[in-house]
Amino acid sequence: MGKEFKCSEASIRRIVNNDLNCYPYKLQEGHLLTDKIKASRLQRCKKLLRLAAAERHRNVLFSDEKVLTIERAHNHQNERKLLPKGSLRSKQERTVSKSHFPASVFVWGGICATRKIPLVFVEKGVKIDQKYYQDNILKVVVNPWTRAHFGENLWTFQQDWAPAHGAKATMQLYERLFPAN
């Protein structure tokens, strides 16, 4: 803008801030919420409110999975290091090393209001497809734990819609293992 209006960058900043009362905000990414997605979220929220009103919110089992890495997180925008100007070591000290494939572990976990399921650690290189999810997580971990913890009480299984979770065969297994839920 300074070149376009033939004035300094500082003058443009001063005009924008002081005269126009504007601030240059960074653009942020966000979810595209279509009418269909909004209606689906509203329906799910109403269901959760009904569960809470019936005191069934304590019997909601939440699950999620995450790849955890040992590599240091780095915030390019806000992380700074004070060093003497011209220091020989400053380039080394200003560098955050990053490997192409850091050591990592895939973890699945579940939690409800009263307890948590023991974590499931998945071996490196294993693809979490519907068969693995059904055989090694639902049948081996979730089914025995929920039977022991919830017994005959009604409970709800809340999870994200990862492809392995929403597959038709997985949904059919839910119906067989957890018929009342």
In this predicted structure, what is the pLDDT of residue 154?
Answer: 86
- Report how far residue 46's alpha carbon sits from residue 38's, in angstroms, rounded to the nearest whole number: 12
Instruction: Give pLDDT tens digits along the chain (181 positions).
Output: 777 878 888 888 888 888 888 887 788 888 889 999 999 999 999 988 887 888 888 888 999 999 888 877 777 777 777 667 766 666 667 777 777 778 888 999 999 999 999 999 998 888 889 999 999 999 999 999 999 999 988 888 888 888 888 899 999 999 999 887 6
CA atoms within 13 A on the CB side of 6: 0
Q: Which residues contact 52 (CB under 8 A, 6 or more apart)?
A: none
- The pLDDT assigned to 8 comes to 87
- The amino acid present at 162, given as its one-letter code, is A
Strand partners, 61: 157
Across the chain, where does the E strand assignment appear? Answer: 60-69, 104-111, 116-122, 156-158
DSSP β-bridge partners for residue 146:
none
DSSP of 9-56, one letter per residue?
HHHHHHIIIIIS----PPP-------HHHHHHHHHHHHHHHHHHHTT-
Determine the pLDDT at residue 89: 63
- Give me 64's structure tokens: 């999620």
Q: What is the helix (H) or strand (E) element at residue 11, kind and residue range?
A: helix 9-14
- The pLDDT value recorded for residue 181 is 66
Residue 91, pLDDT score: 66
- Look at the block and give the residue holding tokens 């100007």: 85
Give residue 90's pLDDT. Answer: 62
- In contact, 143 and 173? CB cutoff 8 Å: no
